A = this chain, B = another copy of it.
């Protein structure tokens, strides 16, 4: 039986209702059904479609510009943190539970806006909205963001329904503490490999120690000075970090191989090729293999729609540090930002919780921006 969601409810209550429908990656069907059903019932003016457990909805008002709002329905596995509960009261009330931060608060804001844009009444909580919309809107509620890249629902939509992702600005409603986070850094992971020659440790001079040979790479890491790059008023701090090291054959054998995995986060003024070339320079002399790489995204805050959102949010935009699906939109040539309720450092923790005030404020900022 499909869970009934009231999209016209207070977005905090809607968040709580979404949180209480478990939707661990791969098991989003019940929540996707509920979202699809509620949009069909409460926002009949929207064009609606579905792909797997991804639900898509859009207006077709003929506006000159279109804003795409995207959020994922899935969460990381539960950790004894459902159903939701609330603590505190008034402006300091907190909503606790898996997904409150990452990212059912953002999804609730999106559903709230969708109901307003597609509702038969054209009204939401007393405010004029439909007809006053400045941009056409596309809503993307997608699946499997918290698992490997190849399963990500947004990737499937990009392949199967590409026109549903296009627009003049993308707003990914991932938690950002209600601040506009612009663009994102790229990330590249490489494996450095040193080789040697096995020997019994009692006759070590007959061998060559691959772990010792990795020492110089670790010295270069320790001495590395990461760049700080300013773009459109956003500051990107780069990083170069060993994330794994492994080597060794047995307790009495000089090892013949050592592998050091390094993760480089690079500012979006560099593409993947330049980032790789930089690492090949830093680690000259080592065998280097690229394990994975994702381009960053320029903040794109010079476009009119992005400027309007920053103005509506009333704050200075900041650089997004982690890699997010914002980069997918950037790769499509669109300016893209993160904007959503919740502290991203609480994502995936057992103690995940969101200040309810942030949910309400994000909804207001987006209504002001769009209306």
Show the binding face of A for B, using Cβ within 8 Å.
185, 187, 189, 200-205, 209, 211-216, 218-219, 221-222, 226, 237, 239-255, 258, 260-261, 263, 265, 291, 321-323
Q: Which residue of B lies closest to A204 (CB)?
A: B239
Question: For chain A, what secondary structure do more than half of its interface residues adopt (helix, strand, loop), or is it mixed?
Answer: mixed
Contact B211 A215 (CB under 8 A): no
> Which residues does chain B contribute within 8 Å of A185, judged by CB atoms?
202
> Which residues does chain B contribute within 8 Å of A321, judged by CB atoms?
200, 202-203
Contact A215 B222 (CB under 8 A): yes
Contact B252 A243 (CB under 8 A): yes
Contact B239 A201 (CB under 8 A): yes
Q: Which residue of B lies closest to A252 (CB)?
A: B263
Given A221-B212, A222-B212, decide whether A255 and B239 contact each other with a Cβ distance below 8 A: no
> Which residues does chain B contribute within 8 Å of A214, judged by CB atoms?
218, 245
C-alpha gap A285/B219 in the complex (Å): 17
Q: Which residue of B lies closest to A221 (CB)?
A: B212
Contact A255 B237 (CB under 8 A): no
Q: Which residue of B lies closest to A321 (CB)?
A: B202
C-alpha gap A32/B215 in the complex (Å): 49
Q: Which residue of B lies closest to A185 (CB)?
A: B202
Q: Which residue of B lies closest to A344 (CB)?
A: B200
Q: Which residue of B lies closest to A264 (CB)?
A: B201
Contact B246 A322 (CB under 8 A): no
Q: Can you list 26 A-B pairs with a CB-CB distance of less than 8 A?
A: A185-B202, A201-B263, A202-B239, A202-B265, A203-B239, A203-B321, A204-B226, A204-B239, A209-B241, A211-B218, A211-B244, A213-B222, A214-B218, A214-B245, A215-B218, A215-B219, A215-B221, A218-B218, A243-B250, A243-B253, A245-B245, A245-B246, A245-B247, A248-B261, A252-B263, A252-B322
> Which residues does chain B contribute within 8 Å of A213, judged by CB atoms?
222
How close is A205's CB to chain B, nearest CB, in angstroms? 7
Interface centre among A187, A239, A247 (most CB of B within 10 A): A239
Given A201-B265, A212-B218, A265-B202, decide whether A245 and B244 contact each other with a Cβ distance below 8 A: no
Top 9 nearest A-B pairs by Cβ distance? A244-B248, A215-B218, A211-B242, A204-B239, A202-B321, A202-B322, A201-B263, A212-B222, A201-B241
C-alpha gap A261/B260 in the complex (Å): 16
C-alpha gap A100/B347 in the complex (Å): 62
Given A261-B251, A263-B201, A321-B202, decide whether A246 and B246 contact each other with a Cβ distance below 8 A: yes
C-alpha gap A218/B221 in the complex (Å): 13
Q: Which residue of B lies closest to A238 (CB)?
A: B204
How close is A350's CB to chain B, nearest CB, in angstroms? 16
Contact B212 A242 (CB under 8 A): yes
> Which residues does chain B contribute within 8 Å of A239, judged by CB atoms?
201-205
Contact B252 A187 (CB under 8 A): yes
> Which residues does chain B contribute within 8 Å of A226, judged by CB atoms?
204
> Which residues does chain B contribute within 8 Å of A242, judged by CB atoms?
209, 211-212, 247-248, 255
> Which residues does chain B contribute within 8 Å of A203, judged by CB atoms?
239, 321-322
